[in-house]
Amino acid sequence: MEELRKVLNEAKNRLIESFGLEPDVLLPDIRYRVIEEIVSTSIIREKVELTLTDVIDDAILNKYLGIPVFLSLAWMMFQFTFSVAAPIVDAVDMFFSWIGEIIGEYISNSFLASFLADGIVGGLGTILVFVPNIFFLFLALSALEDSGYLARVAFIFDRLMRKFRLSGRSIIPHLIGFGCNVPGVMATRTIAGENERILTAITNPLISCSARLPVYVLFAGVFFPDNSPTIIFSLYMLGIVLAFLISFVVGRFFLKGKPSPLIMELPEYSMPETRTLLMHMWERGIMFVKKAGTVILAGVIAIWALSNLPLGVKSVEESYLGILGHIMEPLFKPFGWDWRIAVSIVFGFVAKEIVVGALGMIYGVEEEALEHVISQTMTPLSAYAFMTFVLIYVPCVATLAAIKGELGWKWAIFSAIYEVILAYLVALMIMVIGGVMLS
């Protein structure tokens, strides 16, 4: 085996010396040259043609314009997700408020009424209110994918990503991570280089999945009403920047080696079909609703139980949940979060959506009233630090299980630990630097 490796390395070095290219790049290059030769001898054209795709790519893949175009389209996507979906979000919210009123009116048993109104409507309802945002996000992502643009993002970012010890191919799992980090981590199997695969998988949880969106929409809407989509956009971008930085640090000190070159065929641009777009949106969005009916419902019931135990407690503060919150409170004092906010993040470990549901239940209010209550307990700066913490801290159980499945226990534990530390440090930096700048 050792001898074979030696022979292979010698052959590889000879190829690099002769052609000046890595074998990974050289082989497809030669293949395409042969194809071009065959085509040029068998097809006679009167004129040289440039397709619509060639013309648009000249601008979209330009080294100066490529990344600004991506950032601009990403901002427009969040405008669409937040502002255009707003009436449907409000309509769903009104529906849950009406259900809450009916429960209060018709159910006399206080224990059952509390379970249904605070547990199910207050917890699950608070999360389901954001389902339209998630559907709209998937609709926009599907439009970018079906038009052929999303595949080009890998190419646009390749040059930049190589500086951070990743390859352009790593962007695909990261883009999938915008929907959910679990398939994002699993998609790293397509990456050939072992080091890039590890770096992409362990940084994928830093990419904001749709589960974080309810937290962002709630807090950005309350504390930054004039710039909510831009604030949400900044969080998504912060996640990408941190993923690059962590890749660089881990790659530089723990996983040495050069990233493999990117070779991919870009599809032609095409006009997305409405039916296909709606189908993609439904397939991806309905997964969130199903999750709400299983994992999130279980989590919400667990929180409701913790907030009502031991039996006979008069307020949430006296319950197990309150006790846990008060234990955690000193740790988060520098961020200006009280025990309620501190304890809500514990449940994000099960699924990040539960953070909003937990807040609804702890404060004992529904979405609209929740907005009012949290606006009284936090400042815009501490709210931004909270959103950042939710973005970065420990990935949900399912993502950790996916990392364990792909890379083993060692990297799963490493991910969990580094993300908690990073979340705390970044939130602290936001409070300190933001505090200095605002003062």
Partner 1 sequence: MKRALILYSILLSLIFIFYGSMDLLCGIVRWFMPARALPDLVQTSLSFDLGRGRVPAITLDPGMGLSLLVIGFSLLYGGLGSLKGKLKGGESFFLAGSILALILLVLQVLILFANGVETYALRIEDFSGWTPLEDLNEGLVLGLLAIPTLSSSAKRLRSLRKTGYQKD
Q: Does 379 bind partner 1 (CB under 8 A)?
A: no
Stretch that binds partner 1, among 86-94, 96-104, 169-177, 257-265 (CB under 8 A): 86-94
Query: Would you say the C-alpha torsion 23, 26, 32, 37 has a positive or negative sign?
Result: negative
Q: Does 35 bind partner 1 (CB under 8 A)?
A: no
110: its two tokens: 């206080």
Contacts of 302 (CB under 8 A, 6+ apart): 347
Q: Does 90 bind partner 1 (CB under 8 A)?
A: yes
Q: Does 146 bind partner 1 (CB under 8 A)?
A: no
Among residues 343, 355, 333, which one has the least CA distance to residue 306? 343
Of the candidates 148, 229, 251, 285, which one interacts with partner 1 according to CB under 8 A?
229
Distance of alpha carbon 165 from alpha carbon 195, whole angstroms:
9
First vs last C-alpha separation in the chain: 65
**How many residues bind partner 1, per CB under 8 A?**
40
Stretch that binds partner 1, among 60-68, 97-105, 318-326, 400-408 (CB under 8 A): 60-68
Q: Does 233 bind partner 1 (CB under 8 A)?
A: yes
What letters, b where the CB count within 10 A reaches 16 and e where it falls short, cover 274-313? eeebeebbeebbebbeebbeebbbebbebbbebbbeeeee
**8 A C-beta contact, residue 189 and residue 169:** no
Among residues 78, 77, 82, which one has the least CA distance to residue 132? 82
Among residues 414, 299, 293, which one has the least CA distance to residue 346? 299
Among residues 338, 339, 433, 337, which one has the least CA distance to residue 387? 337
Q: Does 28 bind partner 1 (CB under 8 A)?
A: no
Question: Shortest distance, CB of residue 320 to partner 1, whole angstroms?
Answer: 37
- Interacting residues with partner 1 between 389 and 418 (CB under 8 A): none
Question: Shortest distance, CB of residue 50 to partner 1, whole angstroms?
Answer: 4
Of the candidates 25, 26, 151, 230, which one interacts with partner 1 according to CB under 8 A?
230
Question: Shortest distance, CB of residue 90 to partner 1, whole angstroms?
Answer: 5
Q: Does 361 bind partner 1 (CB under 8 A)?
A: no
Stretch that binds partner 1, among 80-88, 247-255, 277-285, 292-300 (CB under 8 A): 80-88
Radius of gyration of the chain (CA): 25
Question: Shortest distance, CB of residue 52 to partner 1, whole angstroms?
Answer: 4
Contacts of 202 (CB under 8 A, 6+ apart): 246, 250, 403, 407, 411, 414, 415, 418
Q: Does 311 bind partner 1 (CB under 8 A)?
A: no
- Interacting residues with partner 1 between 93 and 132 (CB under 8 A): 94
Residue identified by tokens 């599809």 is 267
Of the candidates 48, 274, 315, 376, which one interacts with partner 1 according to CB under 8 A?
48
Instruction: Kindly tell me which of 56 and 373 has the beta carbon lying closer to partner 1.
Output: 56
Of the candidates 29, 58, 273, 318, which one interacts with partner 1 according to CB under 8 A?
58
User: DSSP character for 61?
Assistant: T
Contacting residues toward partner 1, per CB under 8 A: 47-52, 54-60, 62, 65, 68-69, 71-73, 75-76, 78-80, 83-87, 90-91, 94, 226-227, 229-230, 233, 437-438
